[in-house]
Structure 1
Amino acid sequence: MDIIDRGDAVCIAGAGPAGLVMARALQHNGLAWDQFDPNPDVGGLWDIKHEGTAIYESAHFISSRSLSGFADFPMPKQFADYPKHSEIRKYLRDFARAYGLREKIQFSTSIVKLTKTDRERWQVHLSNGQCREYKAIVCATGSQWQANMPDLKGTFDGEIRHSQTYKHMRELDGKRVLVIGAGNSGCDIACDAGSIGKQAFLSMRRGYHIVPKHVFGMPADVFADNGPNLPIWMMRPLFTFLLHLLNGNLQRLGIEKPDHKLFETHPILNTQLVHSLQHGDVKIKPDVERLDGKYVVFKDGSREEIDLILCATGYNQCVDFAGDLFSYQGGRPELFIQAASREHKNLFGISYIETNAGAYKRFDYMAGLVANYLKDQEETPERAAKMEAIIQTEKPDLTGGIRFQETGRHAGYCDAKSHSKYVAKLYKRLGWTLPQDISFKQVTSAAEEADSFKKETSAA
């Protein structure tokens, strides 16, 4: 097979949000790159027409528009507080167009295999039969493509499928629906079922803290971001009291008392679920014990007749084309600050971070870090060697003092502020400039939006 040698160019796998911001960072630093995506257009997960996407018609962002945009490219103010998936798709396409990124992307082309040469270079085998060799590869394929199905005991006469296959509430019309898993998608889909199905049940293996999407009229993350910067031991009781004030006692609606403290699991932002529970449209059930013909038996001994089971039970994040090049923790690549492999030089992954706030700002930081490091390898090797030593030796605590639950979902989980703070310090230590002054731009946007909400509330 002929190998196309791309010299010092970088390969980007994926043209979703992480892949696009990685391309912009390379462009900003004057580095060459090629980019491949199996879909026919940019957007990755956020284009509902892309094969295998987990997006459904009622899906919205769970972080607000003012805290979710890329540096120097805020989401438009005419977007909803929590943008719909079609708005996110438009935003990503506008971003790609604004920076001239589309022309560099080879669409409808997958990476089928990645191999490392004895010269520490990367050979990328493509679905079109080509093999190209690069200095570095950035895996930005996203985290919600490989469905994680639960191991359910017994046999079931109805239909069982993962929520990844769910697209529209019409699929639930007149059916007795059980949604397994109370993450943000599971809660959304249960509410869809409650509005159109014959009966809707949501199976929760534990109790959770439910955060409303708006607090005193403003998006919850804007409210939190503009509050005092308190340590976790002070912030937790204040927010716990606030949630109780806003939601009341959720145990009266069937949700078990949480077995963990606030902030120790991935946040569930859903105002509609509380509404659906209050009106009896959705009923909470405990974990599933077994399947029994047309019935589902739960661990409290109750049983319900069910037509359709939708498993909103998460995703594995294995980078299938990379073989065993990555090590994994909780089903996701284990990387330095979730950006760089410690085992293999110039193997990166910036779309596999799990955090308690919007991911786009983290993508910006990590993409800039990768691009600066690669540029230094060419122009400032002594600084690149310093960064290499940091990757190999430093294991920063990115928990923010929070003891996250010991589950696969939370293995390697990061507190967003701690992650950003550490990476910002890295930029300073290495003499790099933050991507387009991202920290200033984002905080200013959030502060202005918070002031806007306060003025509107006062006027009302």
Structure 2
Amino acid sequence: MSDDVLDVIVVGAGPGGLLLTRRLAQAGVRFVTLERHQDVGGIWDIDAPGSPMYESAHFISSRTCSGFPDFPMPEDYPDYPGHRLLLRYIRSYADHHDLRQHIQFNAEVSSASCDDNGVWTLQLSDGRRLAARYLICANGVTWEPNLVNWPGQFNGEIRHAVSYRSAQEFRGKRVLVIGCGNSGVDIACDAAFASDQAFLSTRRGYHFVPKHLMGIPADVIATKGPKLPFRLQQWVFGLLLRLLNGKPEKYGLPEPDHRVFESHPLVNTQILHYITHGDCIAKPAVERFDGDEVVFADGSRERIDLVITATGYQHASPFLPGDAWADKNGRPDLYLRMFSKRYDNLAVLGFLEFASAAYTNFDHMAELIVADAVAGRDAPLASKLSEKKRSHQPDLTGGHRYIATPRHANYVDVDAYLKVLGQVKREIGAAA
């Protein structure tokens, strides 16, 4: 294979890579999917080196809304499956479609370069080289931790959340979790019941969304309920959260500087339970370290043994050349959040954020990526899409004002995004 030029190479055999693999197999092209670990699953394999998974992790979208297209999760799964059930489900999808025959395991990509003829050459860590006319990166966005430093000297231990696995790590310690995303809040909940004392530090206030409303998963109600104008949705849901939870300030948390649905949903109200019981104490932003203590923006101090920084991840494919894409507010600047504007034969699946279950939406994206990949550089479809990559600048936010953070730089309103995606497919002749 190293002597031949393939049509397509996919990097990564997580959920996105499997969707691409299935579509490429159906297209009948010469391709291979490379996976650096020994099996499929991506981040959901807690035993894969570098995985950010932890024992208490569960899906934040429900079983009902989160399955692969035409392959629903088993009926006996709970509403919000844990990581081990998710991994079993992902691997059953690969088995169902016999996808492993197209995947090379233990195949880590060290570097990739594109020559003047538009051929990508991939150097693997075992010394092999593979070449293809089109490269698709589906390596995920939660492998490269975003590391943050604070002034001062700390005598305790500081770790990024990517290294966290189990609440057992907190026994006998005073633990500070920095960051109020979904994983940060999950970890703070673990610390609340397992540590001597837990603290949660956040610079910004958020809206806390319950996983169930009237016993029904919240995303099922949002998906299958009546479609309301966005501003009315904000008003209704904001009022509902106020009735259910009260104001975040009541819990010692900052007042949100944005309305509901203007940031990635924080689907966890368990943390509010722990805060009201004193098992976790809300703190403002960290100002500096001072020996055994952490000093916060309000001047308060706490003695801390272990700091977990849940400060997010870089959207990175470290093996790609530095000019693969331009940077936009800390995130890759990609056409439709998936096509390089520099290389017509480079695409990425998964480098976007939206408040919706991923797999069905990823499959819609995979359809267009695969259509481009198999079209050939001079085909009308590829030519039309190439022009759009350079000139088309659609509004993918649906006119919403998302908060100004790197995470939200590539945030899209899923309805607006799918509408534009469908329009592009029809215009270039790629619609199924």
TM-score category (smaller protein) = over 0.9
Query: Map of 1:207-356 to 2, 5 A cutoff?
Result: 207-324=205-322, 325-356=324-355
Q: Secondary structure at the match of 2:38?
A: coil
Q: 2:67, 2:360 within 8 Å by CA — same for their partners in 1?
A: yes
Q: 1:353, 1:359 within 8 Å by CA — same for their partners in 2?
A: no
What is the Cα deviation at residue 59 of structure 1?
A: 0.3
Q: 2:381, 2:429 within 8 Å by CA — same for their partners in 1?
A: no
What is the Cα deviation at residue 269 of structure 1?
A: 0.3
Of 381, 384, 392, the residue aligned with 1:383 is 381
Give the equivalent residue in structure 2 for 1:181: 179
Query: Map of 1:413-424 to 2, 5 A cutoff?
Result: 413-424=411-422
Q: 2:68, 2:359 within 8 Å by CA — same for their partners in 1?
A: yes
Give the AA of the match of 2:363: D
Give the AA of the match of 2:336: I
Of 390, 393, 398, the residue aligned with 1:392 is 390
The Cα offsets for residues 359-404 of structure 1, whole Å up to 9 and x where unpaired, read as 22221011111112233338x9223322222222211111122111
Q: Secondary structure at the match of 1:375?
A: helix
**Residues of 2 paired with 1:330 and 1:38: CA distance?**
29
Which moves more between the two structures, 287-296 or 416-425? Answer: 416-425
What is the Cα deviation at residue 246 of structure 1?
A: 1.4
**Residues of 1 paired with 2:87 and 2:266: CA distance?**
23
**Residues of 2 paired with 1:211 and 1:371: CA distance?**
36
The Cα offsets for residues 160-206 of structure 1, whole Å up to 9 and x where unpaired, read as 00011000000011210000000000000001000111000000101
Q: Secondary structure at the match of 2:256?
A: coil
Give the equivalent residue in structure 1 for 2:357: 358
Q: Establish whether residue 100 from structure 1 lines up as the match of residue 98 from structure 2.
A: yes
Q: Secondary structure at the match of 1:4?
A: coil
What is the Cα deviation at residue 56 of structure 1?
A: 0.0
Q: Establish whether residue 155 from structure 1 lines up as the match of residue 160 from structure 2.
A: no
Which moves more between the two structures, 383-392 or 164-173? Answer: 383-392
Q: 2:177, 2:184 within 8 Å by CA — same for their partners in 1?
A: yes
Q: 1:330, 1:410 within 8 Å by CA — same for their partners in 2?
A: no
**Residues of 2 paired with 1:31 and 1:3: CA distance?**
17
What is the Cα deviation at residue 247 of structure 1?
A: 1.1
Of 32, 52, 65, the residue aligned with 2:30 is 32
Q: Secondary structure at the match of 1:368?
A: helix
Give the AA of the match of 2:355: N
Of 55, 58, 63, the residue aligned with 2:56 is 58
**Residues of 1 paired with 2:161 and 2:373: CA distance?**
39
The number of residues matched between the two structures is: 431
Q: 1:288, 1:296 within 8 Å by CA — same for their partners in 2?
A: yes
Q: Secondary structure at the match of 2:307?
A: strand
Give the equivalent residue in structure 2 for 1:445: none
What is the Cα deviation at residue 123 of structure 1?
A: 0.9
What is the Cα deviation at residue 158 of structure 1?
A: 0.7
Q: Establish whether residue 402 from structure 1 lines up as the match of residue 395 from structure 2.
A: no
Give the AA of the match of 1:240: G
Q: Secondary structure at the match of 1:188?
A: helix
**Residues of 2 paired with 1:373 and 1:366: CA distance?**
11
What is the Cα deviation at residue 330 of structure 1?
A: 3.8
Q: 2:381, 2:430 within 8 Å by CA — same for their partners in 1?
A: no
Q: Establish whether residue 171 from structure 1 lines up as the match of residue 169 from structure 2.
A: yes
Give the equivalent residue in structure 1 for 2:39: 41
**Residues of 1 paired with 2:254 and 2:106: CA distance?**
46
Give the AA of the match of 1:368: E
**Residues of 2 paired with 1:50 and 1:374: CA distance?**
29
**Residues of 1 paired with 2:379 and 2:5: CA distance?**
21
What is the Cα deviation at residue 140 of structure 1?
A: 0.6
**Residues of 1 paired with 2:285 and 2:412: CA distance?**
27
**Residues of 2 paired with 1:430 and 1:75: CA distance?**
33
Give the AA of the match of 2:415: K
Give the AA of the match of 1:18: G
Which moves more between the two structures, 355-364 or 82-91? Answer: 355-364
The Cα offsets for residues 415-445 of structure 1, whole Å up to 9 and x where unpaired, read as 12221222122233344444xxxxxxxxxxx
Percent identity, aligned pairs only, is 43
Task: Give unpaired runs (5+ residues) of structure 1.
Answer: 435-460
Q: 1:143, 1:352 within 8 Å by CA — same for their partners in 2?
A: yes
**Residues of 2 paired with 1:331 and 1:139: CA distance?**
18
Q: Secondary structure at the match of 1:328?
A: strand
Give the equivalent residue in structure 2 for 1:119: 117
**Residues of 2 paired with 1:70 and 1:28: CA distance?**
16
Give the equivalent residue in structure 2 for 1:18: 16
Q: 1:318, 1:331 within 8 Å by CA — same for their partners in 2?
A: no
Superposition TM-score, scaled by structure 2 size: 0.96
CA RMSD of superposed structures (Å): 1.6
Give the AA of the match of 1:282: C
Q: 2:206, 2:248 within 8 Å by CA — same for their partners in 1?
A: no
Q: 1:154, 1:291 within 8 Å by CA — same for their partners in 2?
A: yes
**Residues of 1 paired with 2:87 and 2:67: CA distance?**
13
Q: 1:207, 1:257 within 8 Å by CA — same for their partners in 2?
A: yes
Give the equivalent residue in structure 2 for 1:4: 3
Q: Secondary structure at the match of 1:96?
A: helix
Give the equivalent residue in structure 2 for 1:438: none
